[in-house]
Amino acid sequence: MARVKLTNVQKVYDKNVIAVNDFNLDIKDKEFVVFVGPSGCGKSTTLRMIAGLEEISGGTIEIDGVVVNDLQPKDRDIAMVFQNYALYPHLSVFENIAFPLRIQKMPQDEIFKRVTNAAEILGITDYLNRKPRALSGGQRQRVAIGRAMVRDSKVFLMDEPLSNLDAKLRNQMRAEIILLRQKINTTFVYVTHDQTEAMTLGDRIVIMKDGLIQQVGTPDEVFDMPKNLFVAEFIGAPKMNTFETDLIREGNEYYVKPFGAKIKVDGSKGEELKKADIKPAKVILGVRPEHILLGHEGDPDSIECTVQVNEMMGSELHLHVLTKDNTSLIVRVPTVNLTHEQRDAMVNGHKIYITFAGKVMHFFDKETKNNLLY
Amino acid sequence: MDKKKQHMGMKAKTRLSNGIIYTALTIISIIWLFPFFCLVCESFRCESTYQVEYIIPQKWGFDNYINLFTKTDFPIWFKNTFIIALFVSVLQTIIVLCMSYTLSRLRFKSRKPLMNLMLILGMFPGFLSLILLYKLLSSWGMTNANSIPGLILVYVASSGMGYYVSKGYFDTIPRSLDEAARVDGCTRAQVLTKVILPLAKPIVIYTILTAFMGPWGDFMLANYVAHATSAGMNVAVGLQNMIGTSSSMAANYTMFCAGGVIVAIPITILFMALQKYYVEGVTGGAVKG
């Protein structure tokens, strides 16, 4: 249990490749922070710098108030779970979990107690005598988590622990990590490229791109108020629809005019625009697929589209539609309220009418790509 | 029916190719084993001590072995060689494994230049430095009667250059195992002893064997360093000295052969004892593969 503080942390390879740039983050005690971003964004490098596996080129990292820049991994009191499990193949599951305790020269009975306890929590008691090669992927990852758990270390680091598992197992393990977190209650730093994992696991999410932090916030914050276009498109699945359009003001009301339609920005969004006194301009409009509604022919706020691809997900349809000026949009339509006629109208090649929910639109500056309301 | 015919054809083909392979292997092994067979026969020949033109002895016996141990300094040579080989195998194994681990895992500025330098140095035949080595050792009083520490020094000094094979093996062990161990509280040395070496058993055994065999069979350097004093010789030099002149050749030839047989025994035992550790596939299940 500890606070982790990163101040102006930088990682430079070969004198000119900047992997992480000016990284500032204060991770609170017992907080679960997720670093997320596309590959090559520097998230793993940052984690490995906290672990001590990479040298820090600039800035400081503090764990529990102590600057750890020049400390070896073994002296930092951290535990880490690796993407590829990194189990010791010559040791049994029991000895794998006991390994860090044996290095600490812990008494035998204490080792036994801790290992069996961890094995029970993770449900791997039956495999304690097996070698890692006799385990499945999910079991191996559990052993790796067990090995990190028994230490009671200050910080728990996880580097894409689920990305080697198949989709079903990944969902299951994700839920188990949430449970595990409730049981061991320590500071977690978790790295993933999967926004679903980030959203479901993190107290706070750090979204990175090209070595720079794009936004830090709770899952709600980054979803509802993305700081810039990158965050908006990265968080949420399917990804947000973004396109250029005109933002206009008529009296006290704001409107957008996408694809020939005229849609009012209502609710809190309208208020916020007014409060910030946003000037009418050409903006990038962001609309999440779930915030696109079905419209009616003839309505001024309806946009005529052609269905290109219809993905039936069960509880919802993912429609890939094409507007008249050939912009591709994704629409999420819940199937629960659809009539048969409506569903039949949504096959490939058919015309449908859509409109946007005005209160949950996002507006980004055309040049800076920043959220106009952030 | 057609299918069956094809199947039979396949079987016959396999049989034929196996037959050819086994015949070739048998011929090769006969050619290879024949000198050993002759050596063993000669060592048990009692009717004469000089070279003869037949292979199978007319009178078998242990005379040559008994004479070797009672009438020559062979036990001293044997002891000398054994001490040298033992020390060298221990020291050289430690040095080679540390060297390999360092070159495999640590990244430092002079790593590449160092490896290139050693590669180039390794291309020069060792005997180029023989005279110089002798001069050095003799000025330190490490020749002839005191040749044992001198020889150990020379053999061990160059052992770092034999890192290629073990470094290659270490390179195949995933680095994340090192990282996991370091996070788990290991020092670099503990990573090597507790994780890498148990996984690299075959290569450790190989390193020990080669480190032992090098000095065990060395003649060139040992002959320089201990050419005058029988008490400082190793088996290769001592035995060669026994047949150095044509008269001693005639008197000692069969005894020389007996010496050759005995020299092979420790190596054979060592090999057989360590052979079972040549197990492959110990890294299975370490990381996602």
Q: Residue A88 and residue A90: Cα distance in Å, rounded? A: 6
Rounded to the nearest 10°, the torsion over CA A77, A79, A84, A86 is: 60
Q: Looking at CA atoms only, how far is residue B120 from chain A in angstroms?
A: 27
| Residue A100 contacts B, CB cutoff 8 Å | yes
Q: Is residue B201 in some structural domain?
A: yes
Q: Residue A146 and residue A151: Cα distance in Å, rounded? A: 9
User: Does A281 lie in the same domain as A216?
Assistant: no
User: Does B188 lie in the same domain as B142?
Assistant: yes
Contact B184 A99 (CB under 8 A): yes
The pLDDT score that the predictor gives to residue B278 is 60
Contact B179 A53 (CB under 8 A): yes
Contact B187 A74 (CB under 8 A): yes
Q: What percentage of residues in chain A have a pLDDT greater than 70?
A: 100
Domain stop point among A200, A233, A266 = A233
| Residue A138 contacts B, CB cutoff 8 Å | no
pLDDT tens-place string over residues A98-124: 999 999 999 999 999 999 999 998 889
User: Does A292 lie in the same domain as A224?
Assistant: no
Strand ranges in chain A using DSSP code E only, listed in sequence order: 4-13, 17-27, 32-36, 58-63, 66-67, 78-81, 155-159, 187-192, 204-209, 212-217, 241-250, 253-256, 263-265, 281-287, 292-294, 303-312, 316-323, 328-334, 351-356, 362-364
Q: Is residue B251 in some structural domain?
A: yes
Which CATH number does the domain housing residue B159 bear? 1.10.3720.10
The pLDDT score that the predictor gives to residue A264 is 92
The DSSP string of B30-88 is: HHHHHHHHHHHHHHTB-S-SS--S-SS-SSB-SHHHHHHHHHSSHHHHHHHHHHHHHHH
User: Does A39 lie in the same domain as A115?
Assistant: yes
Q: Which of B176, B187, B282 sits opposite A86 (nearest CB)?
A: B176
Q: Looking at CA atoms only, how far is residue B188 from chain A in angstroms?
A: 10
Q: Residue A339 and residue A321: Cα distance in Å, rounded? A: 20
Residue ranges of the alpha helices (H) in chain A?
A: 43-51, 93-103, 108-122, 137-149, 167-184, 195-201, 219-224, 229-234, 267-276, 340-344
Q: Is residue A374 in some structural domain?
A: no
Domain stop point among A210, A233, A256 = A233
What is the count of structural domains for chain B? 2
Q: What is the mean pLDDT of chain B?
A: 88
The pLDDT score that the predictor gives to residue A108 is 95
Q: Which of B176, B185, B284 sits opposite A103 (nearest CB)?
A: B185
Most B-contacting residue of A78, A83, A90 (CB-CB within 10 A), to test interface = A90
Q: Which of B183, B194, B286 sits opposite A87 (nearest CB)?
A: B286
pLDDT tens-place string over residues B124-180: 887 888 889 999 999 999 988 889 999 999 999 888 888 888 899 899 899 999 999
Which CATH number does the domain housing residue A289 bear? 2.40.50.140
pLDDT tens-place string over residues A6-49: 999 999 988 888 999 999 999 999 999 999 999 989 999 999 99
Q: What percentage of residues in chain B have a pLDDT greater than 70?
A: 93
User: Does A317 lie in the same domain as A206?
Assistant: no
User: Does A174 lie in the same domain as A61?
Assistant: yes
Contact A103 B186 (CB under 8 A): yes
Residues of A within 8 A of B187 (CB-CB) are 72, 74
Q: Looking at CA atoms only, how far is residue B199 from chain A in angstroms?
A: 7
pTM here? 0.83
pLDDT tens-place string over residues B250-279: 889 999 999 999 999 988 888 888 877 765
Domain stop point among A215, A233, A251 = A233
DSSP state of A240: P
Contact A133 B187 (CB under 8 A): no
Residues of A within 8 A of B183 (CB-CB) are 51-53, 73-74, 78-80, 157
Would you say B194 and B186 are in contact if contact means Cβ atoms under 8 Å apart? yes
- Residue-number span of the structural domain to which B42 is assigned: 2-63
pLDDT at B281 over 50: no
Q: Residue A50 and residue A23: Cα distance in Å, rounded? A: 12
